[in-house]
Chain A
Amino acid sequence: MSREPERSAGLPAALVPLAGLALAFLLLPVLGLVVRAPWRSMPEVLSRPDVADALRLSLLCASLASVVCVVLGVPLAWLLARATFRGRSLLRALVTVPLVLPPVVGGVALFTALGRTGIVGRWLDQWFGITLPFTTAGVVVAEAFVAMPFLVISVEGALRGVDRRFEDAAATLGATRWYTFRRVTLPIVAPGVVAGAVLSWARALGEFGATITFAGNFPGTTRTMPVEVYLALQRDPAAAIALSLVLLVVSVGVLAVLRERWLGSRV
């Protein structure tokens, strides 16, 4: 790659207009929401009990889903980054399938696995009387399904960047593998885990397709904000814009606070 002529910012000038275009492309729709928002009827829309229900449910389910992602996703990321076995690269590709799968297809796939007549769900129902579809737990399952790859990819990348000499040093000092993982490896990759958790939380919060397919839509138990927005769009577009703004403000607010609190400026 040839060196660009010296410039104050060190940026090729040709990139600036394209970057500006990208910025406008990303921000204009958000601006549109703000401009078109029915500010006068906003208090009325926001005081509707079903809106509060949907927002509460969204935050609860997205948070539970990201907990599931961390608890199960970190070990999986560790397996992908550290274990050596045949078919590891194939496994890594399979883990990212929910990323490229259309969410509605993901919902149908969840039915075939965890639905009342699904290959695992059938036994959950017969042995324990647990049925996941159309329950709040089903929302968490659908959201975790689409969000977990974000966490796994993020943590796996962090694990690969760890200087193994720290772990070796811990081992020579007599630490067990589990102790080393907890007290040495995990603190080093913590920013990657937090970044992955935040990404998966954001993905879960906006999740629509898999949720409405697998968990259905019922106020109070499974109707999350994205579903509420989708239905409002058919009945009252202005209310849909108001609800979208609420979701936007809440998610950007939470992400900003987390970033401030946990990540400094690293993400």
Chain B
Amino acid sequence: MTRVVLLGTALVLLLSGGISCGGGPSDSSRPGSSANSSVLSGTVTVLAAASLTETFMALGEHFQREHPATRLQFSFAASSELASQIVNGAPADVFAAASSSTMHQVVVAGAVAGKPAVFARNRLQIAVPVDNPGDVTRLADFARRELAIALCAPEVPCGAAAVRALESAGIIPSVDTLEPDVKSALTKVELGEVDAALVYRTDVQAAGGRVTGIDFPQAVEAVNNYPIAVLADAPNPAAGRAFVALVTSSAGRRLLADAGFQQP
């Protein structure tokens, strides 16, 4: 699990007195946010799907600029793992999942305040090492036994999506490992330890040039919705709501679109 504390960013912004809103290109997007920015303070804990790592880190910097008295703390992992943490009482303010069914687990447990809002959609892509040692070009190559293939475990949203895509294509994959979250599947490709993996296209984009992404037509069968919600036992619900508002704002949507997410 990666835990990132953006305290440093907050301090720098505080010291530079960077509360002025002239700099960023996306500041106009949240009318009225300046009215409550003065009251928001304390730590905001956001549990988010591993595939949201880069986008939420960027949104976090944006959030700290708007609410310099807050301290944003992220925990990125497989949505299903985060859901089980929340159900077991993990103290957090916001949960952003990579599928409606993982969010549903938390809703059923009564751990969500209000109704989750879908803020983005994502679809799968084939990720291969840059030199493509297995010469993978299409989803059907996942059935080739001589290749090392990684998928996400079916418990995890990206794994559930992979199962849907492969089933709709009628392909029985020759899988070597079922990874606990999408980032570890991507890492195995980056390290060159597997010939191909199914990950989100946003992960391929976030990896820059370190892996190659290949689109495949069956990906439309396995589009994931990303819901976000403030949690019922949130220690800092006001700041949690502000973070959700930022994610669903036009600035948030723009950042998500830049990262390769689709509009809900």
Contacts and interface: CB of A to CB of B under 8 A. Distances in A.
A96 B207 CA distance: 34
A115 B176 CA distance: 14
A218 interface: yes
A117 interface: yes
B151 to A, nearest CB: 10
A134 B80 CA distance: 23
Contacts of A134: 148, 176-177, 193-194
Contact of A231 (B153, B177, B192): B153
A222 B179 CA distance: 12
B78 A217 contact: no
B214 interface: no
B193 A217 contact: no
Interface stretch (A141-149, A162-170, A185-193, A232-240): A232-240
Given A234-B78, A235-B80, A116 B180 contact: no
Interface in A154-188: none
Interface residues of B, number: 24
A81 B261 CA distance: 59
B155 A235 contact: yes
Interface in B176-198: 176-180, 184, 188, 191-194
B221 interface: no
B98 to A, nearest CB: 13
B192 A117 contact: yes
Given A116-B192, A116-B193, A234-B84, A218 B177 contact: yes
A230 interface: yes
A234 B184 CA distance: 17
Contacts of A223: 178
A131 B153 contact: no
Given A231-B153, A234-B78, A234-B81, A217 B191 contact: no
Contact-residue bracket for chain A? 20 to 34
B80 A212 contact: no
Interface string B183-222: 0100010011110000000000000000000000000000
A237 B89 CA distance: 14
Q: Which of B81, B156, B188 has the most CB of A within 10 A?
A: B188
B80 to A, nearest CB: 4
Contact of B176 (A212, A213, A216, A231): A216
A117 B189 CA distance: 11
B238 to A, nearest CB: 30
B150 interface: yes
Contacts, number: 58
Contacts of A235: 80, 155
Interface string A94-117: 000000000000000001000111
B165 interface: no
A133 interface: yes
B80 A218 contact: no
A98 B212 CA distance: 34
Given A116-B148, A134-B148, A235-B80, A216 B192 contact: no
A207 to B, nearest CB: 15
Nearest to A240: B84
B42 to A, nearest CB: 30
Contacts of A216: 150, 176-179, 188
A131 B175 CA distance: 15
B261 to A, nearest CB: 24
Contacts of B87: 237
B228 interface: no
A18 to B, nearest CB: 29
Q: Which of B78, B81, B150, B176 has the most CB of A within 10 A?
A: B176
Nearest to B195: A116
Q: Which of A117, A222, A234, A237 has the most CB of B within 10 A?
A: A234
A203 to B, nearest CB: 21
A212 B180 contact: yes
Nearest to A217: B178
Nearest to A131: B148
Interface of A: 111, 115-117, 131, 133-134, 212-213, 215-218, 222-223, 230-231, 233-235, 237
Given A217-B180, A234-B81, 17 more contacts: A115-B192, A116-B148, A117-B191, A133-B193, A134-B148, A134-B177, A215-B177, A216-B150, A216-B176, A216-B188, A217-B179, A218-B175, A230-B180, A234-B84, A235-B80, A235-B155, A237-B84
5 contacts: A115-B192, A134-B177, A213-B184, A216-B176, A233-B84
